[in-house]
Structure 1
Amino acid sequence: MHYPDVYIGTIEQYPDFSPSAIAKRQVDGGIAVTPFGLEGDQQAEKSYHGGADRALCHFPREHYAWLRQQFPEEEDRFHPPAFGENLSTLGMTEDNVFIGDIFRWGETLIQVTQPRAPCYKLNHFLDCQNLSPLLQQSGRCGWLYRVVGTGKTSGDRPLELLTRNSEVSVAEAISIAFHMPFDEEQYRRLMSAAGISASWSKTMQMRLVNRKIEDFGRRLFGK
C-alpha cells in the first residue's frame, strides 16, 4: 500500500518572474478531487500545467534523497513538495508505474497520463540552473494523472492499482521522449499506449510529421 502525502498551492507573485503556484503546502484530513485536480489547488500557466489530462502531479519521495546526494551544499532545499507536486510517496517510481494505470484513491479514480516534463521554473525556484536537464536525463521526472472518478479522499487513503492498461512504463515513456534518437516505431508505440495524454500524443505525432525531435532548450532553460 502506498499512502501519499498531499499538497496544494495557490498562485503567487514573484519578483522578476512570472506568477506560479509551485509553492505547495501539505493538506491534512479530507479533500475533494474534482475533474481538474485537488480542490483549492491552482495552476498559473494553463497551457503547460493543469487541465483534464494533467490534473495531479506525482513525484517520488525517494528522488529527493538522490538529489541531496547530487547537491549536498543545497540539501535543505530538496524535500517534498519542492517540485510543486500534489502527491509524494515511497515505493512508486517511474519504473513500476505505467502509462494508463488506474488507481483507486479513497472515493476517487485517477489515471496516469504522461511523465512530467521538467521545465526551467524548477531551476529558478530551487536556484539550481542545471536541475531540469538533470531530472530529464536521469529519468527522475514524476508523472501526471487525469481524474477518472471524482470524490473525497485523504493522505491516509492508499493508492491502489486497479488496472494496468498498457505495457509502457513511465520510465520507458521518458526514454522514448527524451533520451532516444528519432524512432518512428517507438513514437507510434507511445501514442498507442492506453491513457496517454492528448498533449503527448500531439508531440509524438508532430515528430512524425516533421521528421525531427523538437528543441528542449526553451522548456529546460527558458530560452
Structure 2
Amino acid sequence: MNYPVAVFTGAIRDYPGSRPSAIAKRAVSGTLMLTEYGLEGDEQAEQGIHGGPDRALCHYPREHYAHWAREFPAQAGRFSAPAFGENLSTDGLTEENVFIGDIFRWGDALIQVTQPRSPCFKVNFHLDIEDLSLRMQHAARVGWLYRVIAAGRVGPNAPLELASRVSNVSLRDAASIAWRSPFSDEQCLRLLSAAGLSASWTRTMQKRRLSGEIEDFSRRLWGGTRR
C-alpha cells in the first residue's frame, strides 16, 4: 500500500527561555536529496540528541492532530502539520501499525524505522504548552524516527511504500516498554530483539537490564527547569 506524504524542512532558530531548535519547519514542494544525515536543507540543533544516522528523519501521523485539538481547543488552530517538527506527515500510518525495523521505499531512497520519537521540552516551548512533551509520552502519540539505508532523490510526489517488515514490535509496544510499563527484563529483551532498533535505544534497554531500573525522564521532558 502507498501512503502519500507531505515533506517539511527547517533551519535552526532561537527560542527565548529555551535552547535553539529547528522544530519550526516549512513545506517542501519539489524533489530534494536525502542522505544518511537527512533531507537537503534540513537542520538539527544539539546533534548529540537530535539528528544523526539513526534519527535522520522524523515522521508524525497527521491524524493525531485531531486528538490534540480536542485536548487544547483554545489552541486548535495550531495543530496541523508540521507543528511537531516532523519531516514527514501521512494519513494511515500510526504507532499501532508501524513496527521497529520497517523499511519503506520513498522515491529513490530506502528508509528504516529505528525508534519512537522521544518527546522533549522543546515542543513545550514551540507550542507554548508546559507539559505537552509529557502528554505526548503518556498517550504514545509521539511519531517515530528513521535511518536512511539507501540515499536518493525524494519529495512529496513520491509516496511511502512498505518494502519489508523485520520485527513484531510495534511502535506502540516500544513506547509502552520504554515509558509506561514497570521494569521488566523480559520486555527489555523483547525490544532489544527488534531488528533495526536504534543504537541509543539499544544502550538504554541494556543499561536498564544491568541496573534493574528505569531511567529518569525529567531532564528530557522539562529541560532541567519548569516554568
Does the alignment reach a TM-score above 0.5?
Answer: yes
Unmatched segments (≥5 aa) in structure 2: none
Partner of 1:129, secondary structure, is coil
Q: Distance in 2 between matches of 1:114 and 1:7?
A: 20
Partner of 2:8, secondary structure, is strand
Q: Distance in 2 between matches of 1:217 and 1:15?
A: 21
Q: Residue 122 of structure 1 corresponds to which residue in structure 2?
A: 123
Q: Which amino acid aligns with 1:34?
A: T
Q: Residue 74 of structure 1 corresponds to which residue in structure 2?
A: 75
Q: Residue 34 of structure 2 corresponds to which residue in structure 1?
A: 33
Q: Residue 65 of structure 1 corresponds to which residue in structure 2?
A: 66
Q: Distance in 2 between matches of 1:23 and 1:90?
A: 21
Q: Which amino acid aligns with 1:124?
A: F
Q: Which amino acid aligns with 2:12?
A: I
Q: Which amino acid aligns with 1:158?
A: P
Q: Residue 208 of structure 1 corresponds to which residue in structure 2?
A: 209
Q: Distance in 2 between matches of 1:176 and 1:140?
A: 14
Please, what TM-score do these two structures have when normalized by structure 1? Answer: 0.98
Q: Residue 164 of structure 1 corresponds to which residue in structure 2?
A: 165
Q: How does 1:133-144 map onto structure 2 within 5 Å?
A: 133-144=134-145
Q: Distance in 2 between matches of 1:91 and 1:111?
A: 17
Q: How does 1:50-199 map onto structure 2 within 5 Å?
A: 50-199=51-200
Is the 8 Å Cα contact of residues 18 and 122 (structure 2) preserved in structure 1?
no
CA RMSD of aligned residues (A): 0.7
The alpha carbon displacement at 1:18 in A equals 1.4
Partner of 1:20, secondary structure, is coil
Q: Distance in 1 between matches of 2:16 and 2:221?
A: 20
Q: Distance in 1 between matches of 2:70 and 2:13?
A: 30
Q: Distance in 1 between matches of 2:139 and 2:14?
A: 31
Once the two structures are superposed, residues 133-180 of structure 1 have per-residue CA deviations (whole angstroms, 9 ceiling, x without a partner) of 111011101000000000101111110001000000011000110110
The alpha carbon displacement at 1:33 in A equals 0.4
Q: Distance in 2 between matches of 1:189 and 1:143?
A: 18
Partner of 1:17, secondary structure, is coil
Partner of 1:14, secondary structure, is coil
Once the two structures are superposed, residues 9-67 of structure 1 have per-residue CA deviations (whole angstroms, 9 ceiling, x without a partner) of 01112323211111100000101101111011000011111000000000000001110
Q: Distance in 2 between matches of 1:11 and 1:138?
A: 28
Q: Distance in 2 between matches of 1:31 and 1:43?
A: 17
Aligned length: 223
Aligned identity (percent) is: 57
Partner of 2:172, secondary structure, is helix
Q: Distance in 2 between matches of 1:105 and 1:190?
A: 26
The alpha carbon displacement at 1:115 in A equals 0.2
Q: Residue 220 of structure 1 corresponds to which residue in structure 2?
A: 221
Q: Distance in 2 between matches of 1:5 and 1:27?
A: 8
Partner of 1:136, secondary structure, is helix
